Structure 1
Amino acid sequence: MKTQIKRRKLLQALGLGAIGASAFPWACTGPGTSENKEKVPILRFAYLTDMHIEPGIGAEEGVKKCIDHILSKEKPVDFFVNGGDLIMDALGKNEEETEAQWAVWRSIRTAYPDLKFFHCIGNHDVWGKTPHEEKFPGKAWVMREHGLERPYYTFESKGWHFIVLDSTHQKEDGTWYTAKLDTAQRAWLEKTLQNIPADKPVLIISHIPILGATPFLDGDNAQTGDWIVPGAWMHIDAKSLINLFHQHPNVKVCISGHIHLVESLLYQNVHYHCCGAVSGNWWNDEPYEMTHKGYGLFELFEDGSHTFEYVEYDKKA
């Protein structure tokens, strides 16, 4: 497709590596990924991001259809990861409206009581345009729903170390929001990476992309004659984080959502995958920028390699 060729040439010129964006299921390839079909993954998980649940728009049925699609596969997953923006929006909603959205999620969880979920917080999960909480502004409600003590954390599974970050923070002027790590979280991340054995591969989850090409392409970002990427679309501390990851070669993969588009980008030996949305075009039947409703499937290998496939579960003919 002509537009995809132009995008690829642009990224090569910028030295950003390779992007893959398609409305069809695909798997990443390239240095550091597994291309040996005889390899056996030690871990498989499903990545569901940007579900944007609320009553009355078919979201509950859609999410259940997505989960059923995953459960129907011959190869089971070890767990599920929610990449954020689980509910449609709490930023501009009152308590009653926000409760109605979370009630739909609780109904879904009741239908699948045995599923293991790890949660990342998205910007739309935060309650209130002017959050009040002193410690984690606006995030007390979503943390309570997910059983989190803080909005960033770490866990291990089958030889891989996972780090879940909190991307969304108030701007310096007190308005909401920009993509970055606050000072405390940055210090925690540095210490966490130092304490992980150098031979243990690391996968990092953030709702907003740390680094990506899709933020350049989502909307008319060149209308001024320059590329303008909002700080709410990609981490403004990307360069600093990239330098940190460079000090820890066991950081292999960073995955995100937020943009509702699919891409894979390789930079400085780290794979950055942005996954399309479970809600697609916010539960409209038409795809969003050629990207249909879907979820990510990740296979992780003992040698630190991985595969990523974007699976469309509800593509219309």
Structure 2
Amino acid sequence: MKQTIDRRTFLGLAGLAGVACASGLAGCASVPGTNPDFYFVQLSDAHWGFEGPPNPDARGTLPKAVAAVNALEPPPDFIVFTGDLTHTTDDPAERRRRMGEFKTIVAGLRVRDVRFMPGEHDASLDHGAAFQEFFGSTHYTFDHKGVHFIVLDNVSDPAGKIGDAQLAWLAADLAKTAPARPIVVFTHRPLFDLYPQWDWATRDGAAAVDLLMPHPHVTVFYGHIHQENHHMTGHIAHHAARSLIFPLPAPGSQPKRTPVPWDDAHPYRGLGYREVEARHRGEDYALQELPVTRGAS
């Protein structure tokens, strides 16, 4: 599905999760030194190691997603996985085995710039120790074509907090970032209280949002809730990506947070990713939803 929207509508929608073009951020095109002609892929919640209902193809959806991304033309500038790379396990050896298998599979991505961050399934039981062995730091920054990217870890603390030390690190980083510069933040949990009853929140997320608020061009991408969701905190847009393993119900739509059942008539429904493509041709943006099976053999 494709549609074209102007910048005002784009900012009203606050973008779409899944795959995002950084130039779609508010004011990005007007910032000196930025290049609007790029996009990146966000993948989330692969839960490698999960078995059984509601996904009879639990070992197939991640390879299918790799094949789908490899089929994108032109390829994205980079790819980011926003957490829950693997499914939780109490066995440290099994946790590392799953991370090793996940890393081997995603090594098949033809885009070489692939970035990772943990979800609570990867990190909450050992404070991110195994994740760091395989993928490096749980929080970091990088820059790409004039956009400043910040990866926050709100899962290594089993209480679901960012923590004072990391908040101080964020404050120091933002103090060095020019106010007009576009900022993209990646987290696993939502930074706002989406539905705390289902653990869809970050206990000190409001402190991070307060630090980001003085910057006028901020967009947050997250995972964790296994569905598309869009929310605004002031001028800051927050977008959730779909899962690669199973969808979850809308916040508070049923008594318990149980996965949406597999539909044999519509396999992979609720799984996938989205592309937001921008070209430097006025203020139009093309949006396209892509299924997880695209490009898979």
Give the TM bin, normalised by the shorter chain: 0.7 to 0.9
Task: Give 1:47's aligned residue.
Answer: 42
Residue pair 1:278, 1:293 contacting (<8 A) in 2 also: yes
State the secondary structure of the residue aligned to 1:154. Answer: strand
Q: CA deviation at 1:125?
A: 0.4
Q: How many angstroms apart in 2 are the aligned matches of 1:31 and 1:154?
A: 18
1:231-274 residue CA offsets vs partner (Å, 9 max, x unmatched): 83112223333322222223x20010000011122331111101
Q: In the alignment, is residue 264 of structure 1 matched against residue 230 of structure 2? A: yes
Task: Give 2:146's aligned residue.
Answer: 159
Residue pair 2:25, 2:182 contacting (<8 A) in 1 also: no
Task: Give 2:159's aligned residue.
Answer: 177
Task: Give 1:32's aligned residue.
Answer: 26
Q: Which amino acid aligns with 1:247?
A: P
Q: How many angstroms apart in 2 are the aligned matches of 1:209 and 1:160?
A: 21
Q: How many angstroms apart in 2 are the aligned matches of 1:161 and 1:26?
A: 14
Q: Which runs of 5+ in 2 are unaligned?
A: 1-11, 29-34, 248-258
Q: In the alignment, is residue 65 of structure 1 matched against residue 72 of structure 2? A: no
Q: How many angstroms apart in 1 are the aligned matches of 2:142 and 2:283?
A: 16
Matching residue within 107, 115, 120 for 2:104: 107
Q: Which amino acid aligns with 2:213?
A: H
1:77-133 residue CA offsets vs partner (Å, 9 max, x unmatched): 01110000000113xx213322331232133034346532111111000163xx4xx
State the secondary structure of the residue aligned to 1:177. Answer: coil
Q: CA deviation at 1:200?
A: 1.6
Residue pair 2:274, 2:290 contacting (<8 A) in 1 also: yes
State the secondary structure of the residue aligned to 1:76. Answer: coil
Q: How many angstroms apart in 2 are the aligned matches of 1:268 and 1:259?
A: 22
Q: Which amino acid aligns with 1:145?
A: F
Q: Which moved more, 1:197-206 or 1:64-73?
A: 64-73
Q: CA deviation at 1:43?
A: 1.9
Runs of at least 4 residues off by over 6 Å = 17-22, 300-308
| 1:157–1:26 Cα change, 3 Å | closer
Q: CA deviation at 1:31?
A: 9.3
Counterpart mapping for 1:4-153 below 5 A: 32=26, 41-54=36-49, 58-90=57-89, 93-112=90-109, 115-126=112-123, 128=125, 131=126, 138-146=127-135, 148=136, 150-153=137-140
Superposed CA RMSD in Å reads 3.8
Q: CA deviation at 1:297?
A: 3.0
Matching residue within 222, 244, 258 for 2:211: 244
| 1:313–1:88 Cα change, 3 Å | same
| 1:144–1:96 Cα change, 3 Å | closer
Q: How many angstroms apart in 1 are the aligned matches of 2:120 and 2:131?
A: 11
Task: Give 2:291's aligned residue.
Answer: 312
Q: CA deviation at 1:278?
A: 1.4
Counterpart mapping for 1:284-299 below 5 A: 285-286=262-263, 292-299=270-277
Q: Which runs of 5+ in 1 are unaligned?
A: 1-16, 35-39, 132-137, 171-175, 217-228
Q: Which amino acid aligns with 1:140?
A: A
Identity, % of aligned pairs?
23
| 1:254–1:19 Cα change, 3 Å | closer
| 1:64–1:305 Cα change, 3 Å | same
State the secondary structure of the residue aligned to 2:47. Answer: coil
| 1:241–1:192 Cα change, 3 Å | same
Residue pair 2:119, 2:155 contacting (<8 A) in 1 also: yes
Q: CA deviation at 1:299?
A: 4.3
* Count of aligned residue pairs for this structure pair: 256
Residue pair 2:124, 2:156 contacting (<8 A) in 1 also: no
Task: Give 1:219's aligned residue.
Answer: none
Q: CA deviation at 1:160?
A: 0.5
| 1:127–1:237 Cα change, 3 Å | closer
Residue pair 2:186, 2:222 contacting (<8 A) in 1 also: yes
Q: CA deviation at 1:139?
A: 1.1
TM-score normalised by structure 2 residue count = 0.72
1:186-219 residue CA offsets vs partner (Å, 9 max, x unmatched): 001011011012222100000001126xx43xxx
1:14-67 residue CA offsets vs partner (Å, 9 max, x unmatched): xxx869999xx999xx99389xxxxx9422111000000017664443112112
Q: CA deviation at 1:144?
A: 1.4
